[in-house]
Amino acid sequence: MSMILPGSTIGIIGGGQLARMMILEGRKMGYHFVIVDPAQDCASHDIANDQIVASWSSLNAALQLAKVCDVITVDTEHVAWQSIQAIEDQVPAYPSSIVLKNVQDRLSQRDFLQKLDIAQTPYVNVESIDELRNAIDQVGLPCVLKTRTSGYDGKGQAVIKDKDDIHVAWDKIGRVPAIVEGFVDFQDEVSVLVARTRVNSQVRIATYPLAKNIHRKHILHKTVVPAGYPENIEKNCFQFAHKIVDAFDYIGIMAIEMFVTKQGEVLVNEIAPRTHNSGHFTYGGCVTSQFEQQIRAITGQSLGATTLIEPVVMVNLLGDLWKEDINFQTLMQTPGVTLHLYDKHPAKPGRKMGHFLVQGQDIEALSAKADDLYNQLT
């Protein structure tokens, strides 16, 4: 890949908070940004140099973007791979259409992982209620039904505990092609963020410390780093992550969500070919943030150090908290705490509005401090 020099323009499909933070980091390196987002007032609108107001998957928008950009990336994997394929010979795009095609359909993603011999929960493709019934015989109960495409933050999912729940679950996901997965009674959820690029045709890989993630209602609530796992489990997680990025000949940041079972087995849950919510701790918590790293990777620069500066806890702030007047005063007056807000309007339940970091020495104490600060906001 050739180097994309400062002064060049980076296109981002999707103008949410991930794009916003990529722009904040990329601007300091002298890059310009054009975003594609259907919402005129998306989180990046006032800091991007230009915006094409169109759907993320619009072919026209992709063609327009290709004309004005030197490299293209995304802040969501829900971009039609066909639109990226149509412009790839004009402008480099990371992730590539092949990566998007394999990742945005949960079935092809799981098939891809299976071919690589990566441990995961059993899964079966289902396209009708009869197939769902048969699939349950294979994966057992409880299990999780997930739409093959367009799911995020637990949307398009239903847990089936009992055979009587089948109809409700099938209706809940909208009776569309889906996969059914064995329910994993995990000890923890963890994620690995890994960056991969080529500098003068040499592959470079940089891996961030393992992060432990706590979800509420299927949405990330809190990330704790260090995750506190023994070296052998960490090594297992990193090996899976490296195998995946190498298999794709990947360029950019990838986040890989994993379950650690009560027996200490590591199972890959899903992969995201982009910067990720569970990597927000790196923005202030590591020498190089995931957002700066993404810009470095896609412009052919050397990768930055992924070293953790000190233990850190990240807590998400969802729109639910805004229902009454939200008061950030205590948070902002507490030493070691950094508030990030995405300037999104309006606040809605489940909408990611911001996050805060708590940094210090003792991870147990930090985690308790983070909970305490969060509870004061509710």
Ligand X SMILES: Nc1ncnc2c1ncn2[C@@H]1O[C@H](COP(=O)(O)OP(=O)(O)O)[C@@H](O)[C@H]1O
Binding footprint of Mg ion on the chain (CB under 5 A) = 257
Stretch that binds ligand X, among 166-174, 179-187, 200-208, 277-285 (CB under 6 A): 179-187
Residue 184 contact partner, candidates ligand X, Mg ion, none, CB within 5 to 8 A by sort of partner: ligand X
For residue 284, state whether it binds ligand X (rule: CB under 6 A).
Answer: no
For residue 151, state whether it binds ligand X (rule: CB under 6 A).
Answer: yes
For residue 351, state whether it binds ligand X (rule: CB under 6 A).
Answer: no
Specify the residue, 56 or 259, whose C-beta has the smaller distance to Mg ion. Answer: 259
Distance CA 108, CA 227 (A): 30
For residue 257, state whether it binds ligand X (rule: CB under 6 A).
Answer: yes
Tell which one of 133, 215, 221, 351 touches ligand X (CB under 6 A): 215
HSE at residue 336, side-chain half, CA atoms within 13 A, is 18
Query: Contacts with ligand X in 45-74 (CB under 6 A)?
Result: none
Specify the residue, 165 or 257, whose C-beta has the smaller distance to Mg ion. Answer: 257
Stretch that binds ligand X, among 44-52, 177-185, 196-204, 246-254 (CB under 6 A): 177-185
For residue 183, state whether it binds ligand X (rule: CB under 6 A).
Answer: yes
Tell which one of 91, 136, 184, 227 touches ligand X (CB under 6 A): 184
User: In residues, how long is the chain?
Assistant: 378
Asked whether the beta carbons of 43 and 319 are under 8 A apart, the reply is no
Residues 6+ apart with CB under 8 A from 212: 188, 189, 190, 223, 224, 225, 227, 228, 229
Single-letter amino acid, residue 321: L
Specify the residue, 70 or 257, whose C-beta has the smaller distance to Mg ion. Answer: 257
DSSP string covering 109-121, please?
HHHHHHHTT----
Positive or negative: CA dihedral 56, 58, 59, 64: negative
For residue 121, state whether it binds ligand X (rule: CB under 6 A).
Answer: yes
Which residue of this chain has its Cβ atom nearest to ligand X in the complex?
184
Residues 6+ apart with CB under 8 A from 289: 21, 25, 282, 283
Specify the residue, 105 or 181, whose C-beta has the smaller distance to ligand X. Answer: 181
Which residue from 149, 124, 154, 121 is spatially nearest to 136, judged by alpha carbons? 124
**Residue numbers of the site for ligand X (CB under 6 A)?**
121, 144, 151-154, 181, 183-184, 189, 215, 218, 257, 269-270
